Structures are given as C-alpha cells and as structure tokens.
C-alpha cells in the first residue's frame, strides 16, 4: 500500500510529500526482514530527494541503502549501490559518501574497531531515524560480528597455509 501511495505521489510530481511514506514503507520492510525491498525504497527516496534538491535527504537515503545491503550480507550489492550512488555529484562530495567508503573498506577488511568507530560518526548518527533505529544498532553489531569472523577465518587460513608450506 505504501508503494502504491509513493507511486501516485511520484506521478503527480510531488515527491517531497512522499518522504515520510518512503520512510514508513522502509520501516515496515525492515520489520518484515525484507531488507532488499527496504534498500530499494531508500534508493527511491534518494531519487525523489534529488528531484526536490533535498541533498541531505538524498545522501542519507543512499547511505541507508548501502548499510541495509551490508546488513543483508550482500557486500557485492552494497558495493554496486555505492558505485552507482557515487555517480551522483551531491553524494560523491558528502559526509555520507565518506562514511560509506570507510564502512565498505572496514567491512571488506574485517576491521571491527573501524566499524565501531564509523558507527559513532556524525554521518551515521544523523541518518533518518528509520534506518538508524530499525537497523542501525543491529547492523553495527552484526557487521562487527561478521567482520571479526572474517578476520579470524582469514588469519586461520593464512596460518594453515604457512603450516602446510
């Protein structure tokens, strides 16, 4: 129902009026654990914000989508989303972009301390309440856990390789 309401408002060219609907729909998808749908809604919010020249909302929406993809264990999709969003000049020059860059790098490297640091950054703390409250706290715990696990696995693999050599 939220999707339909957003589509109707988009068709009328009144995207700014749909911002709260996008957030409400994303919150619902997150509660239902439909993370890919939630991320897609944040991307739609980003496009709508672009049409309204609401740069801050646009950048927050893009960062929220990237975080949700990571929460869903889809690093590749998070990276693709980041690459696509980075083609938008407003996002490219934003604090949210710098936060996303650091988060993706830390996630890939399994750097739990850096992820904790990022979770305390102003870019993360100023995300829309939906992404932050519904997923934000959970994702950082989950991302830290996954990163630590990845780090331990990679160290174990290197240790086994050295023993076998």
Q: 52 versus 143: which is more confidently predicted?
A: 52
User: If residue 15 lies in a helix (H) or strand (E), which one and from where to where?
Assistant: none
Q: What six digits make up the tokens of 128?
A: 């829309």
pLDDT of residue 10: 61
pLDDT of residue 91: 95
In sequence order, which residues have a C-beta less than 8 Å from that of residue 82 and are 6 or more positions away? Answer: 66, 100, 101, 104
Q: What six digits make up the tokens of 101?
A: 């860059």
Q: Say yes or no to pLDDT of 99 above 80.
A: yes
CATH number at residue 33: 1.25.40.10
pTM score, whole prediction: 0.76
In sequence order, which residues have a C-beta less than 8 Å from that of residue 30 and are 6 or more positions away? Answer: 38, 68, 130, 134, 135
Q: What six digits make up the tokens of 136?
A: 């934000």
Q: How far is CA 122 from CA 109, 119, 126, 130, 165, in A?
A: 22, 8, 6, 16, 46
Cα pseudo-dihedral 63, 66, 72, 77, rounded to 10: 170
Structural domain containing residue 53: 2-164
Contact 128, 61 (CB under 8 A): yes
pLDDT of residue 153: 52
Number of domains observed in the structure of the chain: 1
pLDDT of residue 20: 77
HSE value, Cβ hemisphere, 13 Å, CA-based, for 90: 17
To the nearest whole percent, how much of the chain has pLDDT over 90?
A: 27
Compute the Cα dihedral for 122, 124, 130, 135 and give only its sign: negative
- Alpha carbons 99 and 121: distance in angstroms, whole number: 8
Q: Say yes or no to pLDDT of 5 above 60.
A: no
């Amino acid at each position: 129902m939220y999707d339909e309401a957003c589509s109707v408002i988009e068709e009328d060219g009144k995207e700014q009026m749909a911002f709260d609907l996008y957030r409400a729909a994303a919150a619902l998808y997150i509660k239902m654990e439909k993370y890919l749908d939630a991320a897609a809604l944040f991307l739609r919010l980003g496009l709508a914000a672009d049409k309204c020249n609401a740069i801050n909302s646009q950048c927050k929406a893009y960062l929220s989508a990237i975080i949700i993809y990571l929460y869903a264990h889809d690093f590749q999709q998070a990276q693709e989303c980041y690459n696509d969003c980075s083609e938008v000049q407003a996002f490219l020059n934003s604090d949210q972009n710098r936060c996303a860059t650091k988060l993706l790098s830390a996630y890939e490297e399994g750097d739990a301390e850096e992820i904790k640091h990022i979770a305390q950054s102003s870019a993360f703390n100023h995300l829309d309440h939906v992404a932050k409250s519904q997923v934000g706290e959970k994702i950082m715990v989950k991302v830290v856990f996954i990163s630590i696990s990845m780090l331990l696995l990679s160290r174990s693999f290197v240790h086994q390789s050295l023993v076998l050599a």
